[in-house]
Structures are given as C-alpha cells and as structure tokens.
Amino acid sequence: MAYDDGNVFARILRGEIPCKKVFEDDHVLAFHDINPQAKTHVLLIPKGRYVSLDDFSASASDAEIAALMRAVGRLGRDLGVAATGYRFLGNHGPDAHQEVAHFHVHLFGGQDLGRMLSPPRV
C-alpha cells in the first residue's frame, strides 16, 4: 500500500491538527490517544512515512527502529506504568483492524489490562 500524506498522523506531524504530546525526538512523536482504551493509552509514531509495521520493519533505518523501541521503554517509565506493567501493541492490516495508515504502536497501562486477546478467538 502506498503512503497517503493525508492520513491523520501525517497531519499531526505537520502541525495541521493538535495532539497531546508526551514525547518527541528526532525520529519519534508520542501523544495521547484521542479515544483511550485504558487509563494510560499513548500512541508512538515514527516521523518517517511508513504505512504499517510491515513497511517500517522492512524499510526503516536501524536508527529509526531503535528510537521507537527506546521511546516505548522510556515512556513506560516516564508515565509511571513500568513497575505495574503495560502492553505494547501494533496493528498491521485488515485482520488487525489497523485504522490509520501511518505506522503506530499503542502503549496501554495504568490498570489490569486483562488477557492478551479477550475472549480467545481460536
């Protein structure tokens, strides 16, 4: 799938629409999800034009990939959820119901998050 510069996260990166920013560095922007699914629900996005995890893992530089992973760990600590636990989740494609076609990962925490898939689907 080709990258669409009109997607909502591209617009956030260009400053066309606001976000509640929690972290930024050269490669990553992180902000609160507009429709939180847990007490803590933050999205981390690369600044580069990647459609999904499949695209990012294949095409991003080592520096971009490392920056995203470092940011997840750092935010877990900074948001105060590292001690109690958190979930780090990325949706790729239709089976995972990816809604926004700019790669992003979710960080959920601040409460018991239940089992990984609830209810089990197999």
Q: Under the rule (CB under 6 A), what is the footprint of ligand AMP?
A: 8, 17, 19, 33-35, 43, 91, 97-100
State the nearest-atom distance from the C-beta of 51 to ligand AMP, in Å: 11
Residue 109's identity, in one-letter code, is G
Q: Which is nearer to ligand AMP, 29 or 67 (CB)?
A: 29
Q: Which is nearer to ligand AMP, 63 or 95 (CB)?
A: 95
Catalytic annotation on 97? no
Tokens of 100: 């926004």
Exposure b/e, 39-67, CB count within 10 A at least 16 = b: ebbbbbbbbbbbbbbebbeeebeeebeeb
Name the residues annotated as catalytic: 104
